[in-house]
Structure 1
Amino acid sequence: MERVILHSDLNNFYASAECRDNPELRGRPVAVCGDPAARHGIVLAKSQEAKRCGVKTGQAVWQARERCRDLVVVPPRYDRYLELSAAVRDIYISYTDRVEPFGLDECWLDVGGSAGLFGPGKAIADDIRARIRRELGLTASVGVSFNKVFAKLGSDYRKPDATTLITQENYRSVVWALPVSDLLYVGPATTRKLSRYGVYTIGQLAQSSLEFLHTLLGKVGVMLWQFANGQDGAGVAPYYAVPPVKTIGNSTTAPRDLESDDDVKITLYALCDSVAARLREQRSMCSAVQIGIRDTGLLWYERQAQLLRPACDSTSLFQAAFALFAGNRPRYAVRSLSVRALGLSLADEAPQLSFLPEEARRLRRTDLEEAVDRIRGKYGYGSLRRCIMLTDPALDLDAKGTNIVHPIGFLGTMAESARSH
C-alpha cells in the first residue's frame, strides 16, 4: 500500500488561540510572551500582523516592542492550548489511528489506509484544514507526501492555511531548491558547517558524497543525506501507543541570579523533587543524572554522572546534581538550571539490591518521598516543604506539572536507521 503521510501544523498556535478566544485581538499585532518580571520575557508566538512588523519568536519583549509599537502582549495559557490541541487531535483521529504528535501544534498522520473512505491525501488534508477552521476557529498548514520529512517540509512551504503536495515525481523541483536549514534537524551549527563547504541547499546536500557527510557530521550526516534524497522510511506511530520513556527532566530560569551555594541548592532541590516525583509516577528509576547550567554571561553547558545504584528519590538525584555543579562552577552567577534523569529502567527491573547501610537509607528515603507524594497530591505542593526552602521562598517552585518527558521518538528511529546504513 502506498504511503500517504500528512504533517499538520497549526498556524501561530498560541497567538491564534488568544485571538480566537478574544475577538478584540483579531486583526491586531499580538505576541504571547513570558513574564519579564520572572525573567521569562521572550516572544513565544506571534500573530501574522506582528510577524509582518518584524516580530520574531525568541525575541525579548523589549525588542519586539521596538519592532512594533502597537504590539499587544498577552501571557501564555498553557492549559487552554492543551485543550485546543486535544480538540484538533480528535479531528485527526476521525480519519486515521496513525497520528503522531510532534509538539502541541504539529502532528504527522498516515492516511494511506483511509483513501477508500475519504479520498486521496490532498483531499483529506483540505478537509482537515476546513474542519479545523470551521469547528475550532484556528488554521493549519498541511504537507502531503510519501514520507514524514517531506510532509513536514510541505507544511512549512506555504503558510497560513494551505496544503502542499510533495510527490516522488516533484520533490526534486520543490524540495531541492530550499535552504538546507529548512530540512528537519538541520540546526544553525550544522548549517554553518555545511556552508563552509559550499552546501547551501537541500539539493546540494542530496548530491554530496555520502563519505564526505559522514566524515563531516558523523552518523547524523548519513541521516540527513537520506532525508534529502527522500529515503525516510520512518512510520507514523499509532496515536494510542505509549512510547518508551527515555529521560525525564525539568528546568527553570530563576527569578533572580543565583549567587550562593544555598541559592543553587534550593533550586536544585525543587527540580530534583519534581523529577523524582515523576520517576516514581512512571514506576521508573534512573542510573544517571545530568545538569544544565546557564550563567549570567549566557554561557550554557551540561554535565552528567552515573549513580552508584539506580534511584528514584530526590535526595540521591540532588546529591549527584550538586556534586556536578560544585565540580563545574560557572564563572558568573547562575541564571537557569536544569536536571534530567537518564538511563531509565522500570523499578521492577532494577539490579539486585545491596545490603550496605546506604542502600537501606535510600529505600527509607524513597518510602518517605512516596508518602510526601500522597500528601501533596491531596493538599497541594505547599503542604510539605523542605526547611532549606524557607530561607528564600521566592526560589521554591512547584515544578511537578512542567516536567519534560523525552520519549524515544522520530530522531532516535532515524538515527538507528542511519547507523545500520
Structure 2
Amino acid sequence: MDRVILHCDCNSFFASVELLAHPELREVPVAVGHDGNSRHGIILAKNEAAKKFGIVTAETVWQARRKCPALILLPPHHDRYREYSKKLNEIYGRYTDLVEPFGIDESWLDVTGSLHLFAQSGAELADVIRATVKKELGLTISVGVSYNKIYAKLGSDYKKPDATTVITRENCREIVYPLRATAMIFVGRAAEQQLRSMGICTLGELASADEARLTQVFGKMGQQLRRYAAGEDESPVAPQHEPEQVKSIGNGITFKRDLVTPADLRTGTGYLADEVAARLRAKGLKCTAVQVMIKDTALKSISRQKTLPRETDLASEITEAAVQLVRANWPAGKPIRALTVTAERLVTGPVPCQMGLFAEQETAPPDPRREKLERTMDALRQRYGQTAVAAGSLLGNDLGLEDFHKKD
C-alpha cells in the first residue's frame, strides 16, 4: 500500500503575513524588504500583484522599483513569521503526528495512518487543511499530494496559489516528466547546467538517464537524483518534535562600508564570531573547523575552511581562525563588502587529538579565564538583552554593527 504524503507550502509567506495587518494593500503590488537606500536593499518576498510585474525574490529593491515604480515596500517582521509558522504546524499536527517542517513556510505530512479519521482521500484532506488554514490564519497554502516526499513537493509547486495537486503513479509521467529539471529539489542552477551538458533538460529525461553516467558527474548524488525524478524516494517524514541535527552555525553581514584595514577585519570578524560562539554554547556544541565566505565589491565571493587544533566554543579562538583564513586567502587592503563566519564539524564533547613529539607541539588547552568571561557575557545578554555587553572595538564603529544580527 502506498503512503499518503502531503506537502503544504504557504503562498508568498512573508508578504501574506504582512498583509494581514494591511488588508487595504492586498490588490496592489507589495514586497517585503529592507530599506532600498541601504546596501541591504533586497526583496525578501512579494505578493501576487507584484509577481505580475516580474519582481523576483533576492533582487535589489531598486531593480524591483524599475519594474514597478508603484511598488509598496513593507519592512520584515521575522518574529511574526516564526509565530505564524508555529501556528501552521500546529494545524497540521491535528491531522498527524508525522509533520516535518522544511524551512519556515513548508512542511511534509505523512497521513497514511490517520487519513481515514478525516477524509476519504489525500486530495480531500488537503482541501480540508487549506480551508482550515484560510479560516483560522487568513493565509493560503498550496498542497501537493503523492506517495513520496519529492513528488508531494513538486505537487505543491505545480499550481499556485491556494490549490491542491495530486501526483500518482498513474499520472506522474503526465505531470512530472515534462517539468524542467530545476523544478525538483536539489537541482540548482549549477546542476542544471551539468545536466544540460549531458542532454538532460526535463525530469523525464533525468528519470530515464544512465545512473553510472550520472554518478561520474555528480558522485553518489547522481544516483539519488535519478531516483527522485523517477518517484523512487522512500525517505520518511520525520516528526516535527524530533531534534534536528545541527551541522553548522554561521553569521554573516553586508557591512555599511567595506572592510579595508586590519582593524576593520578584526572588528567585523570578531562581531560575527561572537554570536556564532554564543549560539554554539547555547546548544552545548563546539566546532572543530571554521569557514569564512568573503564577498568583494563586484559581488564575487570565495569560501575557505580550516581545521582547528582542537574543538572550541570561544569567540576569541573562532575570531583568530577566521582572521587567519582571510589574511591567507585575501589580498591585504582589498575591500571586503560582506563576510560570513561559520562554525563547522560540530561536536558535543572532546575530540581525541594526536600528541606531538615535543611538548611545545602539543595543543594548548582552552583558557579557563576566557571561558568564564564569555559565559558571563552570555548570562548578561540573556538577562539584559543582546546589546548589554559588547567588545570595545564596536563602540562608535561605522561598519553598521550596532544591532545587526543575521542568523543562518
Deviation at 1:299, TM superposition (A): 1.1
Deviation at 1:100, TM superposition (A): 0.8
User: Match for residue 382 of structure 2?
Assistant: 377
CA RMSD, Structure 1 to Structure 2 (Å): 1.9
Deviation at 1:353, TM superposition (A): 11
User: Match for residue 245 of structure 1?
Assistant: 246
> Which whole-Å CA distance do the structure 2 matches of 1:102 and 1:18 have between them?
21
> Which whole-Å CA distance do the structure 1 matches of 2:365 and 2:233 have between them?
49
User: Match for residue 74 of structure 1?
Assistant: 74
2:388 matched to 1:363?
Answer: no
Q: Which consecutive residues of structure 1, in runs of 5 or more, have no partner in the other structure?
A: 405-421
Count of equivalent residues: 402
Deviation at 1:63, TM superposition (A): 1.1
Change in CA separation of 1:380 and 1:127 when aligned onto 2, cut-off 3 Å: same
> Which whole-Å CA distance do the structure 2 matches of 1:233 and 1:321 have between them?
40
Deviation at 1:27, TM superposition (A): 0.6
> Which whole-Å CA distance do the structure 2 matches of 1:111 and 1:337 have between them?
43
> Which whole-Å CA distance do the structure 2 matches of 1:113 and 1:313 have between them?
46
2:407 matched to 1:403?
Answer: yes
Deviation at 1:403, TM superposition (A): 2.9
Q: Give the secondary structure class of the aligned counterpart of 1:290.
A: strand
User: What's the CA shift string for 1:88-137, capped at 9, x where partnerless?
Assistant: 11100011111111111111111111122012211111111001111111
> Which whole-Å CA distance do the structure 1 matches of 2:14 and 2:47 have between them?
9
Change in CA separation of 1:137 and 1:164 when aligned onto 2, cut-off 3 Å: same
Give the structure with the larger helix fraction. 1
The residue type paired with residue 227 of structure 1 is Y
User: Match for residue 336 of structure 2?
Assistant: 334
The residue type paired with residue 373 of structure 2 is L
> Which whole-Å CA distance do the structure 1 matches of 2:192 and 2:354 have between them?
48
User: What's the CA shift string for 1:18-55, capped at 9, x where partnerless?
Assistant: 11221121111101112334411111111101101111
2:35 matched to 1:30?
Answer: no
1:147–1:230 Cα contact (<8 Å) kept: yes
Percent identity for Structure 1 against Structure 2: 44
> Which whole-Å CA distance do the structure 2 matches of 1:95 and 1:258 have between them?
51
User: Match for residue 49 of structure 1?
Assistant: 49
Q: Give the secondary structure class of the aligned counterpart of 1:63.
A: helix
Per the normalisation by structure 2, the TM-score is 0.94
2:358 matched to 1:344?
Answer: no
2:257–2:398 Cα contact (<8 Å) kept: no
1:286–1:342 Cα contact (<8 Å) kept: yes
Map 1:216-365 → 2, pairs under 5 A: 216-329=217-330, 332-347=334-349, 349-351=350-352, 359-365=364-370
Change in CA separation of 1:308 and 1:70 when aligned onto 2, cut-off 3 Å: same
Map 1:182-201 → 2, pairs under 5 A: 182-201=183-202
Q: Which residue among 393, 400, 405 is the counterpart of 1:388? A: 393
Q: Give the secondary structure class of the aligned counterpart of 2:86.
A: helix
User: Match for residue 149 of structure 1?
Assistant: 150
Q: Give the secondary structure class of the aligned counterpart of 2:272.
A: helix
1:270–1:397 Cα contact (<8 Å) kept: no
The residue type paired with residue 81 of structure 2 is Y
> Which whole-Å CA distance do the structure 2 matches of 1:183 and 1:282 have between them?
33
Q: Which consecutive residues of structure 2, in runs of 5 or more, have no partner in the other structure?
A: none
Deviation at 1:393, TM superposition (A): 5.5
2:6–2:122 Cα contact (<8 Å) kept: yes
Q: Give the secondary structure class of the aligned counterpart of 2:186.
A: coil
1:287–1:307 Cα contact (<8 Å) kept: yes
2:286–2:347 Cα contact (<8 Å) kept: yes
Q: Give the secondary structure class of the aligned counterpart of 1:36.
A: coil
